[in-house]
Structure 1
Amino acid sequence: MPALMPILTDRVALVTGGSRGIGRATSIALASTGAAVAVNYLHSENEAANVVAEIERAGGRALAVRADVSVAADVTALIEAIEQQLGPVDVLVNNAGTATFVDIDHLTEVEFDRTLAVNLKSAFLCTQAVLPGMRSRRWGRIVNVSSAAARGPGLVGIHYNASKAGLEGLTRGYASKVAREGITVNAVAPGPIDTDMAGPLKAANVADRLPVGRLGETEEIAQAVLMVVGNAFITGQTISVNGGASFI
């Protein structure tokens, strides 16, 4: 029988945007299963170092690597650094993202393009970079961190909605192409989560409107990531983790 939780000893995981919030919780969760974890960051160097230190204190292996994953050259350098110091990437969690609250009257082309680059293009670039190795080994797990905004109105703005809806389309497209090669591709779609970006959610009293009556915890998203990493029969799916905000 397959294990109820993934056993990732001798596997290498990359978590983009892994220094804070959902990325931090996911990095630590993957390390707890035995994976060596590359913690990608762009600006949060100290936070990334703290995640690495926490993993190492627990007896795991980790590496903090700076890269702008919306830039192809940075992604190439990122993957090369991971392969040299940890090994080839077996598990990719495309978590890097941006969420600037802008309404339609003030949304600019620059902000629209930036949001799609960070939230969507980065997942494409990182997936393209690790897929050849996964295909040659005939094993891989790719998890894209989407959002409830991909299928609902959301609070951030239409630029964010579009980027996350595109990410779920990317998920299904890749899943259909590589399933027979031992690679699964899924998305996890958080609802309102209590992170350092949750200020507007709290100001809008979003928690009071959720059936569970609270915001989600980052560790609850990490649990969902582990679930799809550990299940070889789930692919092309979006797992909603939203406190009952919707039942789609």
Structure 2
Amino acid sequence: MVNLNEKVAIVTGGAKGIGQAITRELAKHGVKVVVNYNSSVGSAEKLIAELKEAGSEVYAVQADVSNLEQSRKLVEETINHFGRLDILINNAGITRDKTFKKLSEEDWRTVIDVNLNSVYNTSSAALPHLLESDAGRIINISSIIGQFGGFGQTNYAAAKAGLIGYTKSLALELAKSSVTVNAICPGYIETEMVKEIPEDIREKLISKVPQRRLGQPEEIARGIIYLCQDGDYITGQQLNINGGIYM
């Protein structure tokens, strides 16, 4: 078991939703967390104030991780502030759901850039530092949609499926090092994004889940802790936290 106290993590998209739950859970285990955000400045400031008041060491960095230079800046600021990097959580993501006939090139490229290309940007900047850690971790937040597809989500599904292939391939390359690479594939999780779905459609989604409920962001966060703390011999895997909807 890895002692997470004093380890340093970056959580992209770490101010809201699943990212916020991950940030809180890491901080609870003594991890020093860099909360990355792009436009959610209010949420980031509120979260940082809350965690600092609780005694956690946290730091917010604004960066658009779909941009390579800003991703490098994010890692540089982390090293300058905390002096090391042990854990990279690639959580940043957006949706632009439309049927393919209505999907614009901008809708396609924006989702691919934020959900998939960002992972190259952050990982390439972070890897030299992660290799210096005795327990480096890269954890990519994919999705059940990347496993079985989604109507009106060709862009999102392509990005999240790409994350799974990326995870397996990078895990192979790094298998002889101290760095593990894994993906978590959440099912339908009770976030602001899901709450915006019309109630009748949301109920239909829940009816398809064998456990008959939405997952909670904290359940994804506990999966992160498991991989960080107990995951020395786990690499290239998909941890499916989905209530049994995809097996």
Q: Structure 1 unaligned runs (5+)?
A: none
1:110-149 correspondence runs (5 A): 110-149=106-145
Describe the SS at the equivalent of 1:111. Answer: helix
Q: Is 1:59 matched with 2:58? A: no
Q: Which amino acid aligns with 2:102?
A: H
The corresponding residue for 2:240 is: 240
In the superposition, the TM-score normalised over structure 2's length comes to 0.95
**Of 190, 196, 200, the match for 2:197:** 200
Runs of 5+ in structure 2 lacking a partner? Answer: none
Conserved in 1, the CA contact under 8 Å of 2:100 and 2:152?
Answer: no
On the 8 A contact 1:192/1:201 being kept in 2, the answer is no
CA distance in 1: counterparts of 2:111 and 2:25, whole angstroms: 27
Deviations 1:119-151 (A, max 9, x none): 001011111111111223453101000000111
Looking at structure 2, the residues matched to 201 and 122 of structure 1 have their Cα atoms a distance apart, in angstroms, of: 30
Q: C-alpha displacement at 1:79, in angstroms?
A: 1.1
Instruction: State how far apart, in whole Å, the 2-side matches of 1:152 and 1:129 are.
Output: 31
Secondary structure of the corresponding residue to residue 100 of structure 2: coil
Matched, 1:8 2:4: yes
Deviations 1:142-196 (A, max 9, x none): 1000000111122451111100000111101110111211100000000111111
TM-score relative to the length of structure 1: 0.94
Match of 1:221 in 2: 220
What CA distance in whole angstroms lies between the structure 2 residues aligned with 1:223 and 1:29?
Answer: 7
Q: Which is further off, 64-73 or 132-141?
A: 132-141
In structure 2, the CA distance between the partners of 1:138 and 1:177, relative to structure 1 (3 Å rule), is: farther
Alignment-mate amino acid for residue 224 of structure 1? G
Range that drifts further, 34-43 or 146-155: 146-155
Q: Kindly report structure 1 stretches of 4+ aligned residues shifted beyond 4 Å.
A: none
Show CA shifts across 1:37-61 (max 9, x none).
Answer: 0000001111011221222122110
Counterpart-to-counterpart distance in 2, 1:239 and 1:9: 23
Are 1:74 and 2:55 an aligned pair?
A: no
**8 Å CA contact 2:135, 2:232 repeated in 1:** no
Distance change >3 Å, CA 155–CA 132, structure 1 → 2: same
Distance 1:7 1:26, change over 3 A: same
* Count of residues in correspondence between the two structures: 243
Contact 1:138 1:181 in 2 (8 A): no
Tell me: CA distance 1:99–1:89, structure 2 relative to 1, closer, same or farther (3 Å): same
Q: 1:20 to 1:245 in 2, by over 3 A?
A: same
Alignment-derived partner of residue 102 in structure 2: 106
Percent identity over the alignment? Answer: 37
Superposition CA RMSD, Å: 1.3
